[in-house]
Amino acid sequence: MNILAIDPGSTSTKVGVLYEGRTLKANLEHPREEIDRFVRIGDQFAFRLECIDRYLEREGLAAVAFDAVVGRGGLLRPVEGGVYLVNEALAHDLSVGVSGEHAANLGGILARSVAQRSGAPAFVVDPPVLDELWPVARVSGLAGINRRSMFHALNQKAAARDVAQELGRPYQELNLIVVHMGGGITAGAHCKGRVVDVNNGLNGDGPLAPERTGGLPVVGVLELLERGVYTIPELKALVARKGGIYSYLGTVDLREVESRMAAGDAEAALIFEAMAYQIAKEVGGLAAALDGAVDGIVLTGGLARSQSLVAALSAKVRFIAPLFLRPGEFELEALIGGALRVLTRLEEARVYPGREA
């Protein structure tokens, strides 16, 4: 099988190619000045497609007839986990940003464009709006506002499946708590193959992270608005991109924070400890949600490379279940794996229902 995987990020497009049994990976970086000239994320389509085409040309893959092209799922309407065929409804919802603007929205659109050249199917896998929440997990505390499932679904599911393989048991038989730790942090309760509870790391829920505030005292936020300190758009930007560690220390680089701690910076040490403390509380809450029946706790994402953070978390949560480390991201592998499962008929592609859902 020859498969092309496309994973757009804010300033890069990751590309993976399964070709004649070997896998090639590349990170196509886009200078900030290039990206900033586009008003909307959707306007970047032609630019990113050209970058992908140039990469395929350089690697001698321009003439390859791919069996499938798979893109990172974007902010669609809420769906269950799985592999989805990129149909008209899915492409439309990505184009208009039906659930918000994000670089990932380009994944399925780019995949479809490239796939059409070979007459191949295009897919997306486990999009970030994956919604398998228990009804009780949707209740927020205020009628009219429901908790929403929006998280690092692709990498969480990939890490969970990898740990299940290590344990020699099907993912669908395990209870795992998976914590993705990057610029944002999401922790999900994976109950028998379904993510039944998870914090919305993008919209102000869960632990503080390098870029994101996590949950905030509501009255305190309202008072900021009341005093005119921030506008609503400014606050939304703070919650998603300029909160968390950045708001306290002016950096999103955990390595810099750790260097400051080593030099005796007390504030850096406090904020680092607070992040670990809040992540551990999130894990503990999910353990309670699973009635204490937890087969393992999986730490993944870029911050899982930090020995200091892993040690701090281990000290607080290892009494719950064994700890498994999957540092980094496995999104390209997860995309290719999802397409392979469909092409080899181990899994059936789902049809995105769109507006009629």
| Element holding 98 (H helix, E strand) | none
CA proximity to 52, closest of 136, 112, 92, 1: 112
The predicted structure's pLDDT at residue 47: 96
The predicted structure's pLDDT at residue 96: 93
pLDDT digits (tens, 9 = 90+) for 168-199: 999 999 999 999 999 999 999 999 999 999 99
pLDDT digits (tens, 9 = 90+) for 199-239: 998 889 999 999 999 999 999 999 999 999 999 999 998 99
Helix (H/G/I), strand (E/B), else coil: 14: strand
Helix (H/G/I), strand (E/B), else coil: 83: strand
The tokens describing 53, both together, are 């085409």
Q: What is the pTM of this model?
A: 0.90
Q: How confident is the model at residue 294 (pLDDT cuts 50, 70, 90)?
A: very high
Cβ atoms of 93 and 104 closer than 8 Å: no
Cβ atoms of 197 and 189 closer than 8 Å: yes
**Helix 153-167 crosses helix 331-343 at what angle (to 10 degrees)?**
70
Determine the Cα–Cα distance for residues 286 and 280; give it in Å rounded to an integer: 10
CA proximity to 158, closest of 107, 63, 226, 83: 83
**Helix 307-317 crosses helix 266-289 at what angle (to 10 degrees)?**
40
The tokens describing 295, both together, are 């087969």
Q: Which residues pair with 19 in a beta bridge?
A: 22
The predicted structure's pLDDT at residue 356: 52
Residue reference for tokens 């992270």: 209
pLDDT digits (tens, 9 = 90+) for 6-25: 999 878 899 999 999 999 99
Q: What's the one-letter identity of residue 292?
A: G
pLDDT digits (tens, 9 = 90+) for 239-280: 988 999 999 999 999 999 999 999 999 999 999 999 999 999
CA proximity to 312, closest of 268, 350, 267, 280: 280
The predicted structure's pLDDT at residue 357: 43
The predicted structure's pLDDT at residue 101: 84
One-character DSSP codes across 165-216: HHHTS-GGG-EEEEEEESSSEEEEEEETTEEEEE--TTTT-SS--SS---S-
DSSP class of 231: -
CA proximity to 28, closest of 42, 11, 44: 11
The predicted structure's pLDDT at residue 35: 84
- Name the superfamily (CATH) of residues 3-130+332-356: ATPase, nucleotide binding domain (3.30.420.40)
Determine the Cα–Cα distance for residues 167 and 171; give it in Å rounded to an integer: 9
CA proximity to 339, closest of 154, 172, 167, 89: 154
pLDDT digits (tens, 9 = 90+) for 57-95: 999 999 999 999 999 999 999 999 999 999 999 999 999
Residue reference for tokens 């994101």: 212
Cβ atoms of 238 and 244 closer than 8 Å: no
pLDDT higher than threshold 80 for residue 350: yes
Mean pLDDT score of the chain: 95
No. of H helices and E strands in the chain? 13, 14
Could you tell me where in the chain the CATH 3.30.420.40 domains are found?
3-130+332-356, 135-321
pLDDT digits (tens, 9 = 90+) for 111-144: 999 999 989 999 999 999 999 999 999 999 999 9
Q: What's the one-letter identity of residue 331?
A: E
Cβ atoms of 75 and 98 closer than 8 Å: yes
Q: How far is CA 196 from the centre of its chain?
A: 16
CA proximity to 136, closest of 150, 144, 147: 147
Weakest mean pLDDT among 33-42, 301-310, 330-339: 33-42
CA proximity to 279, closest of 254, 251, 260: 254
| Element holding 310 (H helix, E strand) | helix 307-317
Fold of 135-321: Nucleotidyltransferase; domain 5 (3.30.420)
